[in-house]
Amino acid sequence: MKISLNKSVKTLIKVVISFAALYFVFTKIELSQIISIYKNVNFLWLLMAGICFILSKSIASLRLNKFFRSIEIQITEIQNLKLYLLGMFYNLFLPGGIGGDGYKIFILNKKFEVGTKKIFWSVLVDRLSGVFALFSLSIILLFFFKIESSFNYLRVVWILIPVGFLFFYFIIRRFAHYLKVVIFETSIMSFLVQISQLFSVSFILMALGVDEFQFSYLFIFLISSIVAMLPISIGGMGLRELTFLYGSQFLFLDEGSSIAISLMFYLITAVVSLTGMYYSIRTDKIRI
């Protein structure tokens, strides 16, 4: 009973944070402004955005299975993709309970005798690999900004990329040395995942008719993706929009366009995640 209560409280906190963040955002932005932007959306570009997002998640699924196979969990790519979609659905629509990652650990631990700890670290390192790619691409995008002379220190900020990788590698060697064999391959896949999502956002920009300061919007998107990973909201809802709001103010971008981009990306994520609902009803279709 106590455990169930704790889960309910955590879920309630996530809901409150998400809706409080959204409420704050819409006290700064007129809803009519967002609606007017959506009225002229180009659905062809929006379709391309969706395809790129699906591609990113397909690569992410392949990456996760690389980690699983390194700890001798042998499941097919199709089985893993179904489990991945189910995890997306749980993370976005069922924030309470064990969540998507927790469910994957639970299912695989029942089927394979490799130990909960190894499965946990495989899933966690998969997440950290994505964070490293987001961090690195954020730094790379900084070089597309026009920086005033007083900020010339950005010329050496690229050093943070190898430093970040060494820190990431140290964590793996210290806590999950058995994953070292796939670290370089999965790191490349992580960059492909995030680049695919950058293309997705680029197509969203085109769909909404935003044709200026594209690199600035992409930079905010990368930062918002890192913030959205914090486990304090419903699938990053509210946190991403809040980041876009403050990011647009800092970079002197149109606030309405920024929030419209963020909400559209969340909508695409939600639509793709909904496909996992089928496997939550028919878990027998995963057949691990």
The range of the structural domain enclosing residue 20 comes to 2-285
DSSP codes, 13-56: HHHHHHHHHHHHHHHHS-HHHHHHHHHT--HHHHHHHHHHHHHH
pLDDT in tens, 94-136: 665 456 788 888 889 888 888 899 999 999 999 999 999 999 9
Q: Are 129 and 137 in contact (CB under 8 A)?
A: no
Q: What is residue 202's predicted lDDT score, i.e. its pLDDT? A: 97
State how many domains the chain has. 1
Q: What is residue 238's predicted lDDT score, i.e. its pLDDT? A: 87
Q: What is the largest CA-CA distance in the chain?
A: 61
Question: Dihedral sign, CA of 249, 251, 256, 259?
Answer: negative
Radius of gyration of the chain (CA): 20
Q: What is residue 118's predicted lDDT score, i.e. its pLDDT? A: 94
Q: What is residue 1's predicted lDDT score, i.e. its pLDDT? A: 47
Q: Give how far the C-alpha of residue 116 lies from the chain's centroid of Cα atoms, to the nearest Å.
A: 24
Read off the tokens for 236. Answer: 């990053």
Regions of the chain short of the pLDDT cut 50: 1-2, 5, 97, 148-150
Q: What is residue 155's predicted lDDT score, i.e. its pLDDT? A: 64
Q: What is residue 240's predicted lDDT score, i.e. its pLDDT? A: 93
Q: Within the chain, where are the H helices?
A: 2-28, 31-39, 43-70, 77-93, 99-111, 116-142, 160-175, 183-207, 214-228, 239-250, 255-274, 277-281
